[in-house]
Amino acid sequence: MTDVFAYSAPMRRGQDLEFIKTVSDLQDSEELILILTTNGGDPDAAYKIGRYLQHKYPSFKILIPGLCKSAGTLLAIAAEEIIFSPYGELGPLDIQMSKTDDIAGMESGLNISEAFTSLESRARETYHNLVMEIINSSGGVISFHTASHSASEIVSAIYSPVFSKIDPEEVGSRTRAMRIGEDYGLRLNMKHKNLRVDKLSMLSQSYSSHGFVIDMLEARVLFNNVREATEVEKSIVDMLGETGRISGNSTFFKNLSAEYAKLRETQADDDTPNCNASPDSESSTTRSNGKNPQGASSASAPKTSKGDTKAK
């Protein structure tokens, strides 16, 4: 028998312990399928759940029925196999952080890195354009050294107010926070090694947005063991309805082990051929009806005369 648990909720500290207690109280197998739907949340909570499930279940698979983002993707790294339903999608491994001066707002931890990259690129481009413009407009009279110095002063005047608003402490804090995802992912991947070599940095840094859709085809680029859900697995997802595809702010845990076992038993019964009928039952029935295998009655079957030759 396989344990099947559904988790449809944000990843939060406190909820991780609640879910762990639920699994601990109801565990009845060494095999687990976790049906996971979440918009993400606290990477500490995802890591805690992933490590616990790896410890308790030698065989641990994750079924993705709908949205499974950010910290949900981190938890998926812990599994030996990732199963996708038609609506399933993972997301990049970027940490969501509170916006400055905004208690309720959240933003991607990649924003600060993208901001620095953009500012650096724009400043460099402005500098080169100014140098060439100064030299060309002077007809070559102004030397490169002079043009370079003038361009530096202009760029400094334009971008200094922007860079002065950057808090080094905030930058350091966000940089460390972004390393959490990679550090946890590295540790969660040590047991089953389902995440391909060198794909952790791609998962955490290469995608352009927090909501980027990583479907089954994209996931096969990142992970070794990825497959589509079976009909039984799709049926168990259908039992969850909308909760199985979209996670709200409420907490939803459910033990579906009995329902899954019943569905598998029903499928096994449907796939089993009828072995009660013996091979000779049909021929004995036709003989009792006075008919030959071709459906003609024995009375109407033509008789063979002595002069007829046997078919070769």
Q: Are residues 75 and 17 in the same domain?
A: yes
Tell whether 44 is covered by a domain: yes
Tell whether 296 is covered by a domain: no
Quickly state the pLDDT bin for 95 (edges 50, 70, 90): low
Q: Are residues 118 and 157 in the same domain?
A: yes
Mean pLDDT of the chain: 83
107 conformational bin, left if phi > 0, alpha if psi -120 to 50, beta if neither: beta
Boundary of a domain, candidates 171, 191, 219? 171
Tell whether 281 is covered by a domain: no
pLDDT of residue 234: 96
Range of the domain at 140: 111-171
pLDDT of residue 280: 52
**Token couple for 240:** 């969850």
pLDDT of residue 255: 97
Higher pLDDT, 236 or 297: 236
CB 1 within 8 A of CB 259: no
Average pLDDT over residues 121-139: 86
Q: Are residues 8 and 92 in the same domain?
A: yes
CB 151 within 8 A of CB 159: no
pLDDT of residue 296: 43
Q: Are residues 39 and 165 in the same domain?
A: no
Q: Are residues 65 and 146 in the same domain?
A: no
What span, in angstroms and rounded, lies between the C-alpha atoms of 114 and 119? 9
Provide the number of structural domains found in the chain: 2
pLDDT tens-digit series, residues 228-282: 999 999 999 999 999 999 988 889 999 999 999 999 998 887 777 665 555 554 4
Tell whether 252 is covered by a domain: yes
Tell whether 287 is covered by a domain: no
pLDDT of residue 179: 84
- Record the pTM: 0.71
Beta bridge partners of 83: 63, 227
Tell whether 307 is covered by a domain: no
Tell whether 305 is covered by a domain: no
Quickly state the pLDDT bin for 307 (edges 50, 70, 90): very low
